Amino acid sequence: MRCGGDVDVDGDGDVFPSTPGKLKTWSGGSSAISRHHVGVVHRCFASTSTLFLWALLLVALTASYLSFAGLVDTSSRYLLLSASRARGGGGGGWERRVGESARPGAHRGARGLSVLVTGAAGFVGSHAALALRRRGDGVVGVDNFNAYYDPSLKRARGALLASHGVFVAEGDVADPGLLARLFGAAPFTHVLHLAAQAGVRYAMENPSSYVHSNVAALVALLEACRGAEPRPALVWASSSSVYGLNEKVPFAESDPTDRPASLYAATKKAGEAITHAYSHIYGISVTGLRFFTVYGPWGRPDMAYFAFTRNILQGKPITVYRGRGGVDLARDFTYIDDVVRGCLAALDTARRGERGPAQYRIYNLGNTAPVTVPRLVYLLEKHLGVRARRRVVDMPGNGDVPFTHADVARARADLGYRPRTNLDAGLKKFVKWYLSYYGYSSSSSSSSSGGRVVGGGAAAATTTTMTTTENKQQQQQQQQKQNRGLR
């Protein structure tokens, strides 16, 4: 209700208070709400004392209900929501599945989280969702299964999640209607936002997809978070790419990030600024995680280690970029399980619902040990048992940076983050998964790829053979999307 200019919508400090967390008094309940209501109602109805008294009573009743609702903890709210839905009090099958999937296991007790994982059919999202589910947290995924890379891989990750009881809603995070339904169906305590348009080079082909998924979808999600009750803490994926053209190594969170080298990096940097603004104005707890070249089983086909593996096995040449002056490119390759542990630690340490300024944190999640691309190729050859055919070319100006190297001191101190897996061990696990997923079988016969066996040990003694037409088709599809970026 507006009464002739009484409410300053443009922010005089009452409507958008400087103390974070008060804006949601309309649904959260506090003494501020009753003072505000009383002021508005009084000015509108001062001439009619009876009406005023009735209004006052109504406001008092509303305020006490909201205060009570605010006191009820998440798990109790869960029971209330579930009970109401079980009685048919709202929502159909979809809502019921969201509600069930979001419910933490009883054994987790008060530690149980209820997490909305965006980009859950993606590489990091599927691993993180599974890790949360395995320890008993409630998890709901959302993903639009877009065709940036082979959607059948996303479907397979989705099926894996479903087999562990994780429901993945199909839709776009930029859709406020979908978010309203999700937040209406379950009281999420946390959001792990991993949906994004990834890849550096694809921005030259489809720039608007970065604006859509990395900026518009992020804002839609923050809007949904600020209106949600309870208000979830947000943990989201930024990227090492924000360090752009920096030359100081290792990269620390306090280093400048104002020289992005790609549109992808620019949208991640924008995301950091946008989340900061929402945290400041609305009191949302935000943790941004700058991932450094994540790799591992169920990985992304557009990334170099994945595309190299495919080409090596098919006997096709791989393109190895070289930096200025013939310097090898290097990346701080970080194994998926280390990144997932970092994500879970960020969720566990996120503070929610406290008085005072909201938490706003940024952490590097890297491996702290950069490895050159030629060394990456050597390790792949070793684990595949096949020699690569290299085509070494100068790096074009496509947004890639020559090297990355993480300083993780802050994450170690605050999150207990300690990367455990080196590239050799991590690639071994990746290759094992790749061969099994794409239907290669080991044999001692000569390689169908035409490559040569290199190195020593059991892996080097094997060659590989494609087994199914379906897998061949999958490989062809991925071939079209190959070499989109190192990151």
Ligand X SMILES: NC(=O)c1ccc[n+]([C@@H]2O[C@H](COP(=O)([O-])OP(=O)(O)OC[C@H]3O[C@@H](n4cnc5c(N)ncnc54)[C@H](O)[C@@H]3O)[C@@H](O)[C@H]2O)c1
When the beta carbons of 182 and 198 are compared against ligand X, the nearer one is 198
Name the residue type at position 211: V
Using the Cα atoms of residue 290, residue 292, residue 293 and residue 296 in order, give the sign of their dihedral: negative
**DSSP annotation string for 406-472:** B--HHHHHHH-------HHHHHHHHHHHHHHHTT-EEESS--TT-----SSHHHHT-EEE---HHHH
When the beta carbons of 41 and 166 are compared against ligand X, the nearer one is 166
The pair of three-digit structure tokens given for residue 151, joined into one six-digit string = 């959607």
The pair of three-digit structure tokens given for residue 41, joined into one six-digit string = 């109602």
Which positions touch ligand X (CB under 6 A)? 119, 121-125, 143-146, 154, 172-174, 194-198, 213, 217, 237, 239, 291, 293-294, 300, 487
When the beta carbons of 22 and 268 are compared against ligand X, the nearer one is 268
The pair of three-digit structure tokens given for residue 217, joined into one six-digit string = 């979808």
- Compute CA 438 distance to the chain's CA centroid, rounded to the nearest angstrom: 26
When the beta carbons of 293 and 311 are compared against ligand X, the nearer one is 293
Which residue carries 């379950």 as its tokens?
186
Classify residue 399 as exposed, middle or buried by CB count within 10 Å of its CB (0-12, 13-18, 19+): buried
When the beta carbons of 123 and 440 are compared against ligand X, the nearer one is 123
User: Catalytic residue at 243?
Assistant: no
Question: What is the number of the residue whose Cβ is closest to ligand X?
Answer: 122
Distance in Å, CB of 456 to ligand X, minimum: 30
Q: Which of 264, 282, 305, 321 is catalytic?
A: 264
Query: Rounded distance, CA 14 to CA 12, Å?
Result: 6
Distance in Å, CB of 95 to ligand X, minimum: 19
Nearest Cα to Cα of residue 425 among 308, 338, 316: 338
When the beta carbons of 332 and 381 are compared against ligand X, the nearer one is 332
When the beta carbons of 63 and 304 are compared against ligand X, the nearer one is 304
Distance in Å, CB of 467 to ligand X, minimum: 26
Query: Rounded distance, CA 21 to CA 27, Å?
Result: 12
Cα separation values, 376 from 337, 338, 371, 422, Å: 19, 18, 7, 11
When the beta carbons of 85 and 154 are compared against ligand X, the nearer one is 154
CB atoms within 10 A of CB 381: 21
State the Rg of the chain over Cα: 26
Distance in Å, CB of 16 to ligand X, minimum: 28
Residue 148 · residue 209 · CB < 8 Å: yes
Classify residue 326 as exposed, middle or buried by CB count within 10 Å of its CB (0-12, 13-18, 19+): exposed
The pair of three-digit structure tokens given for residue 34, joined into one six-digit string = 């009753």
Name the residue type at position 83: A
Distance in Å, CB of 7 to ligand X, minimum: 34
The pair of three-digit structure tokens given for residue 106, joined into one six-digit string = 């009883």
Query: Rounded distance, CA 166 to CA 105, Å?
Result: 12
Distance in Å, CB of 183 to ligand X, minimum: 15
Distance in Å, CB of 13 to ligand X, minimum: 35
H helices present in 238-286, as ranges: 263-282
Distance in Å, CB of 237 to ligand X, minimum: 3
Active site positions, annotated: 264
